[in-house]
Structure 1
Amino acid sequence: MRRLTPALALGLTVLLAASHANAAPSHSTRDSYGTKATYAPGQNPRTYQRPPAGFTPVFTENVSRHGSRAATDGDDADLVLALWKKAEAAGALTAKGRELGPKVQALQSAMSAVGYGDLSGRGKREVHDTAVQMAKRLPGLFRKIAGDKEKIDVVSSGQGRAVDSANLYAAGLAGADPALKPLIGPTRTDVDLLYFHKAAGGAAYRDYLANDQRLASTLKSITDQPTTHRAARDVLKKLFKGDFVDQLADTDRVAAATAVYNLYAIAPAMSDESPDGRGWGMERFIGKRDAAWFGYLSDVEDFYEKGPGFAGSDITYKMADVLLDDFFDKVEAKRDGSSDLGAELRFTHAEEIIPLAALMGLPGSTEGVTQERPYTYADNAWRGAAVAPLGSNVQWDVFRKGGTYLVRMLYNEKETAFKAGCRPIARNSAFYDLDELERCFGRAEGAS
């Protein structure tokens, strides 16, 4: 989440703020972690549908967000510890507040040891386990890849945690079937494909973030409202005595409470590094209702900056075309006989997964909002914890019978329907004819 500046304390867009003032978000505890939620497969693989008779797997491809990681910097811990030390010197710590400082210091030390922004132990396991599940899901495909000496291409954004995820995933596959090891290419970098929000194709998007006044006023009006200030005060008064909290400026209270929330949100990703390996207990320092509110604010930013955003505008997700095109290109090359790949494995970030989900119309990512009726949990299904948790992934498995190719999509390892307008081969089937997908995504010649 962005830290508030003093400017955010000046005025509100009354219409938008009023729509939120009495709306505590409906949530699950998982939702309160936003896109820092740790990964969990969405379906028991034993319940996957079987392909129709005669169809055998011939190709698979994915795009995955990196696994769980440490915070990208130590700023939140630094802010909380500075305030904690000031309160300690003033004798203004509550009983719970006295526990906070040592806990934050230990968590900060653990993140520093892992490396800010780098994969944690949990993140490494998430990536490895997802690779093993792919191998178990498609044993016939990987036997075919090994027997035919087909290649497995591995590509990343070039950022450290994505590169590490790619290498760990490849190692997981090779561990599941050693015959695959010589067929897995070295991890290569494609910034345009897997870091497009910072590449040339993201220029218009970056201008939107920097200069769109509708975006700026909407984020300000949603964030800087009485509910946020009440939640911030509630968070801090659990940790510091009332007089100490009251002496802080409004913006300082919100910044400090946001930092406490951010540590709460990242702590599960660092569970392996906790003293007992079971977790840090940061939920002790923020109430469920307050965590839910700050989680909602985190989702607000991601929804408007990366997700469906404003209805009638595709500026936040149009640039994901390059990634969706690559998915189709790889399957079409397999069908056309111009590819010797057995698998295509891609590793990236939330900034790519979230817009891809919106572009593809994946569950929860189908509905933009108007400026007059902004994003709320009550009115919109989008949740960062479901759309792009740490380790999130989209996978296409391809099956062939004669000249017919079927595609099954898994979203966070759950069989998932393609967008409205795409017709599966039978009602409630997870399988789609490639020709039908080309038609409904506008790739077929003459498609409407």
Structure 2
Amino acid sequence: MRHLTPALATAGLAALLAVTALPAQALPEHLSDGTSYGTKAPYEPRQNPRTYQQAPAGFVPVFTENVSRHGSRAATDSEDGDLVLALLEKAESANGLTAKGGEFGPKVRALQAAMSGVGYGDLSGRGKQELKATATRLAQRLPGLFTTIAKKKEKIDVVSSGQGRAVESANIYAGALAEKDPDLEPLIGTTRTDVDLLYFHKAAGGKAYRDYIANDQRLATTLETISDQPKTHSTAHSVLKKLFRPAFLATLSTDDQVAAAQAVYNLYAIAPAMREESPGGKGWGLENFISKRDADWFGYLSDAEDFYEKGPGFADSDITYKMADILLDDFFEQVEAKRAGTSDLGAELRFTHAEEIIPLAALMGLPGSTQGATTSKPYTYATNPWRGASVAPLGSNIQWDVYRKGNSYLVRMLYNEKETAFRQGCRPVSKGSKFYDLNELERCFGRTTN
């Protein structure tokens, strides 16, 4: 989430775009676990594997493929901690700290030291555990498939965006499969890089998208309208008054208060991802320095930015997710090659980032990613189900398991390890089933059947 700034749009531009001012938003008292952390929420599987449906009679697994976000990580830089510590030190010299403010500084310094030790932007201990556990559950879910892969000496292809945390996630995931079944180890390829496929927002295919982020006036005005609300200012004051005495707080401008409170929130949001590095592995306790209600508001602002910049966005535009076509095409092409007998792969494993998972979810119409916003009905929690913590938490994943019987191929999709229906208009093999004939999926997604 970017640091909030003073209003960007002129009155003339605002009038031109007719962005409707947001009413004060009433947040639920008890949001679902993880919501206030946005896309920094650590990963948890969303379904008990014992409740998965059985494949129709006679169908056996012959292929699996996924795309996974990297696991929990340290913050990408020290900016938030540096800002907070500088302000705390300034307040301390002016006798402007509350008792909680005095306690907060050592917590932030310790968290900063832990993130520096891990490496800014690199996987934390929790992130490594997430990837290993997800891979282990994959092997447990499809034991027959991996036995067949080993017997037939089929290949397991591993590909990443090339960014450090994605490469490490790929290697940990593949290593967990080999650890569970050593016969797989020689079949697992060295992790390769495909920037166009798994870092498309920065590759050639993302040029129009990058122009949208940099120059679209409707986007800029909408995000400014959402962030620059009285609720943001009052919430920032609520966060900071726990740390700073009134006289010192009065010396900070409204914008400085918002920036400082957002930095406090950002530290709160990343702390669970760094749990394993905390004293005794019991957590950092930063939830004691920001109320749930205040964290929920900043979580909403973070979600709003991700919604408009990466997710469903504006209902009349597909600019935020059209570029994910290359990744969805690859999912289909891998299954189609398996059906055609031109592939020697037993599994295709991909590792990437939120900037790819979020638009793919919107392109596929996955749960929570089906509803865009309009200028007259902007994104709020009350009017839209999109939540970063559900759509793309750290370690989030989309998986297709492929089953065969004779010349028929079925596909079952898991989204964060929950059996998930394909988008509206796709017909399963029977009512209530999570299995879809490949020919039906090709029809539903407008692909030419081979």
| Short-chain TM bin | over 0.9
2:61–2:142 contact (8 Å) kept in structure 1: yes
2:26 match: 23
Counterpart position of 2:44? 40
Q: Is 1:215–2:233 an aligned residue pair?
A: no
Distance 1:10 1:312 in 2: 24
* Residue identity in the other structure for 2:417: E
Residue 21 of structure 1 and its aligned partner are, at CA, apart by 2.1
Partner Cα distance (1:328, 1:170) in 2? 22
Kept after mapping to 2: 8 A contact 1:25/1:377: no
Question: Matches of 1:17 and 1:123 in 2, distance apart?
Answer: 40
Q: Distance in 2 between matches of 1:175 and 1:346?
A: 19
Say if 2:428 and 2:436, in contact at 8 Å, map to a contact too.
Answer: yes
**1:282 corresponds to 2:283:** no
Residue 103 of structure 1 aligns to a residue whose secondary structure is helix
Match 1:301 to one of 305, 330, 342: 305
Q: Does 1:98 align with 2:102?
A: yes
2: CA distance, partners of 1:318 / 1:16: 24
Match of residue 326 from structure 2: 322
1:74 is matched with 78
- Specify the alignment match of 1:383 in structure 2: 387
How far the C-alpha of 1:18 sits from its partner, in A, is 3.8
How far, CA to CA, are the matches of 1:385 and 1:16 in structure 2?
27
Contact 1:29 1:288 in 2 (8 A): no
Q: Secondary structure at the match of 1:20?
A: coil
- Counterpart in the other structure of 1:2: 2
1: distance between equivalents of 2:140 and 2:262? 41
For residue 85 of structure 1, what is the aligned residue in structure 2? 89
1:17-166 to structure 2, matched below 5 A, reads 18-24=21-27, 27-166=31-170
Deviations 1:286-309 (A, max 9, x none): 011110000000000000000000
Identity of matched residues, %: 74
* Cα shift at 1:5: 2.6
**Aligned pair 1:224/2:204, yes or no?**
no
**Is the contact made by 1:25 and 1:293 (CA closer than 8 Å) also made in structure 2?**
no
- Paired letter, 2:210: R
Taking a change above 3 Å as real, the CA distance of residues 386 and 406 of structure 1, as seen in their structure-2 partners, is same
How many Å apart are 1:285 and its aligned residue? 0.7
* Cα separation, 2, equivalents of 1:8 and 1:439: 45
**Correspondence 1:433 to 2:437:** yes
| TM-score under structure 2 length normalisation | 0.97
1:412 to 400, 413, 416: 416
For residue 8 of structure 1, report the CA deviation from its aligned partner: 4.6
Return the alpha-carbon distance in structure 1 between the equivalents of residues 20 and 323 of structure 2: 31
In the alignment, the residues of structure 2 paired with residue 427 and residue 252 of structure 1 have an alpha-carbon distance, to the nearest angstrom, of 56
Judge conservation of contact 2:8–2:221 (CA < 8 Å) in 1.
no
Mapping for residues 329-348 of structure 1, pairs under 5 Å: 329-348=333-352
The AA in structure 2 aligned to 1:77 is G
Letter matched to residue 90 of structure 1: A
Does the 8 A contact of 2:365 with 2:423 survive in 1? yes
Match of 2:317 in 1: 313
**Runs in 1 of length 4+ with deviation above 6 angstroms?**
9-12
Q: Deviations over 1:325-382 (max 9, x none)?
A: 0000000000000000000000000000000000000000000010111000011000
Structure 2 CA distance for partners of 1:270 and 1:322, relative to 1, 3 Å: same
Q: How is 1:257-268 mapped onto 2 (pairs within 5 angstroms)?
A: 257-268=261-272
Q: Flag structure 1 segments of 5+ consecutive residues without an equivalent.
A: none
Q: Check if 1:200 corresponds to 2:204.
A: yes
Structure 1 residue 25, shift from structure 2 partner: 5.8
User: 2-side partners of 1:207 and 1:315: how far apart?
Assistant: 10
Decide whether the 8 Å contact of 1:151 with 1:341 is kept in 2: yes
Amino acid at match of 1:341: L
The SS at the match of 2:210 is helix
Whole-Å Cα distance in 2 between the matches of residues 124 and 276 of structure 1?
A: 18
Q: CA deviation at 1:22?
A: 4.1
Whole-Å separation in 1 of the counterparts to 2:342 and 2:62:
14
State how many pairs are aligned: 446
Q: Which of 228, 236, 260 is the matching residue for 2:240? A: 236
Whole-Å separation in 1 of the counterparts to 2:94 and 2:218? 43
Measure how far apart 1:13 and its partner are: 5.3
Q: In 1, Cα distance between the equivalents of 2:118 and 2:10? A: 39
Give the match's secondary structure for 1:19: coil
In 1, Cα distance between equivalents of 2:231 and 2:420: 36
Q: TM-score, normalised by structure 1?
A: 0.97
For 1:81, the aligned partner's letter is L
SS of residue paired to 1:204: helix
Question: Conserved in 2, the CA contact under 8 Å of 1:435 and 1:444?
Answer: no
TM-aligned CA deviation for residue 213 of structure 1: 0.4
Query: CA distance change for structure 1 residues 8 and 232 in 2, over 3 Å: closer, same or farther?
Result: farther
Matches of 2:422 and 2:14, distance apart in 1: 37
How far residue 28 of structure 1 moved from its aligned partner, in angstroms, is: 2.7
Offset at 1:242? 1.2
Q: Which residue of 1 aligns with 2:427?
A: 423
Query: What is the rounded CA distance, in whole Å, between the counterparts of 1:427 and 1:244 in structure 2?
Result: 63
Measured at CA, do residues 25 and 443 of structure 1 come closer, stay the same or move farther in structure 2, by a change above 3 Å?
same
Contact 1:150 1:342 survives alignment (8 Å) = yes
Counterpart of 1:276 in 2: which secondary structure?
helix
